[in-house]
Each structure stands twice: as C-alpha cells, then as structure tokens.
Amino acid sequence: MSTAHEHPLDRANPLAAIEAAAAAVRNWGRWRDEDVLGTLNFIDDAKRAEAAGLIRRGTSFSLAQSFDGDGPQNGWRRRTNPVHTMLDTGADAALGNQGFPHGLGGADDVVSMPLQASTQWDGLGHIFDRGLAWNGRPAETVVTSEGDLVTGIEHTKDSFVSRGVLLDVGALLGASLGTPGELPDGYAITPDDLDATIAAQGPSAAVGRGDLLLVRTGRLARARREGWKDYAGGPSAGLSFTTAGWLHSREVAGVATDTWGFEVRPNEFDDAFQPLHQIAIPNMGLSIGELWDLDALAGDCSRDGRFDFFLVAAPIPFTGAVGAPVNPIAIK
C-alpha cells in the first residue's frame, strides 16, 4: 500500500502539476493530426482476436447500472435521472383507440436523460485543458451548440472491443484500511496500489497495450447498502493524479471505475477540480468510463482466479455527443 510521501504532490500548486503531467503524457499527433479515437487506436484486429480467445465458459456479465428514475443523480450541473414516459400502453390497445386493424395493439415509449446519468463513457470532447481539446484543437471549434463536431462519441461505436482486466483494489486493500471489501472515501489509488493488486491477483491481471482497464473501489456496493446519498458527486475513493504516467506507459485503451468521477474525491489539490480528467482526456486521449457495476464480475473473478475477459462496451452512437450510455458485457 502506498503512502503519500512516495508520490509527492505540491497540493498548493495544481497548475504546475497539471502542466508537467500534461507534457509528460501528451499524445497529440501520435496517430495523425485528424485523429478522433485517441488511445482506442491501441486496439487493433489482433488485440480483438486475442481478447476473443479469453472466452472459455461463455458466462456473461452486464456491467451497467440501471437506467431509471431511482438512480444516483441529484441535479448537479443539471444532471438528473432518466425520465421514462409511455406513449402508447396496453390500455390504449384494449380501448381500441390506436387505429390499428385486425386487433393489433402495441406499446411505445420515450426516455429523456442526460447522456451521463448512469453507466457511460466520457467522450474525447467532454473535457478541455486550458482551452484545448484532444489533439491540440481549439475547444471552441470542436464542441459548439450543435454538439461535438470533431470527436463525437459516434466515432467510437465499434472501438470498445478488447481484453478487459479487472483490478479489485477495494478487495485487496479494504480490510487493512478498516473498510473490508471497499476503499474509504478520499482514498487516492496510486501506481503502487495498482501494481500491488496486479501482483496479488496474478498473471491474468497484467495490464498492457490495448487493454480496457476496470478498477473496482467498492463505492457502488456501499451506495447500494446505505443508499445513494452523495454517491454522484460526493467524496469517494478513486485514481490518484499520480496514475497518469502509469496509464500512459501501459498504453491502456480505456479505463472505467465503479464511481461517479473516476478519480479520487475530494481531489488531491487545494484548489482543483478533476485534474486527472484534465490530463487524461484532452492530452492523453484516454476514454474514461464511470458508474460501472463491477461487483458481480469481481466475485466471479475472485472465485475462478481469472481477472481478464472479453469485453464489449460500445456506447450508443449519438451523433455529436460528448459522452454516451453503455451496457458493457464481460464474457469469461
């Protein structure tokens, strides 16, 4: 387990830390000036074929939370839970007022929701760094009132298919921190913690080029036990700012957690908001997943000792969206 002095941060100077980290992990121009995929470029046909070979039992796990009015959103920045409305119902059919012939009836419905209300991917147009979007583009030319005109989530609709790896940091460290099975709020997961989890879980937990990395903190399990409260936006364990270089050096294609914000909350600087997002998305081109349900998968991985699997996690390709819902499926 890491201690603070092993990964020192000047907590009073976030701008300097952000500038240094951005320069160290920046992938601008790595794949070409017109690139819209970022680190998803690490996933190629060979990687997908390798991932498909991980299927042995055929057991599948949905990693999505529910999309309904009882979700965790509390209105922060106008994010609300989905609103589901019926347009046609069985009552309409029974009353014969739908206008269909020969006894045909039907039901239809509509959903209104923020695209990041539940399990989702952050797109590359979601976060900017000092006015610049992914690949160094001016933010105002990328995302306008008409949406993300350059890196909209639709470009990734067939990209999120790869080897998935689960690192259950909550299970490994929770007991020693007084919270068995989960991490306490505000715990910053460091590179040492990730490496320790890989070592404890064994060879199947090795993380490398093109992998989709899933990090379980246990925060969702506690929210289900105690109620949502401030799960969406409040204090939580999460990745430390210091993991930027670790993620970059391993060339992961994407990373997702069971938390609302992916990185530790409160953040590690005196005056900053989501600084790891500021590094990962616009500079590294790294796709970030949030609000994933990793509990059932984690239990199965623990039982069979295998922490890698075939993962399909395609977002709904809303044109011009800066994030989108997803129902990730892990197959073992």
What pLDDT sits at residue 321? 98
Beta bridge partners of 295: none
Identify whether residues 308 and 181 lie together within a single domain: yes
Domain limits for position 244: 4-74+114-331
Cα(81)–Cα(152) distance, integer angstroms: 23
The pLDDT of residue 8 is 66
Average pLDDT, the chain: 95
In terms of domains, do 154 and 188 share one? yes
Same domain? For 18 and 105 the reply is no
Residue 180, phi then psi, degrees to nearest 5: -55, 130
Compute the radius of gyration of the chain from its Cα atoms.
Answer: 21
Alpha-carbon torsion, ordered 83, 260, 116, 248, to 10 deg: -170
Q: What distances in angstroms separate CA 61 from CA 39, 65, 75, 199, 216, one per listed residue?
A: 25, 12, 29, 24, 15
pLDDT digits (tens, 9 = 90+) for 98-155: 999 999 999 999 999 999 999 999 999 999 999 999 999 999 999 999 999 999 999 9
Give phi and psi for 204, each to the nearest 5.
-70, -10
* Domain identity same for 22 and 93: no
pLDDT digits (tens, 9 = 90+) for 160-190: 999 999 999 999 999 999 999 999 999 999 9
Q: What CATH number does the domain containing 299 carry?
A: 3.50.30.50
Q: What average pLDDT does this structure show over 237-257?
A: 98
For the stretch 262-293, pLDDT in tens is 999 999 998 899 999 999 999 999 999 999 99
Number of domains in the chain: 2
- 102 and 206 together in one domain: no
190 Cα distance to chain centroid: 18
pTM for this prediction:
0.95
Give the pLDDT of residue 4. 35
Q: Report the distance separating Cα 126 and Cα 100, nearest Å.
A: 44
pLDDT at 243: 97
CA distance 163 to 154: 21
For residue 330, give both structure tokens: 């892990």
Do residues 8 and 103 both lie within one domain? no
Q: Does 312 have pLDDT greater than 90?
A: yes
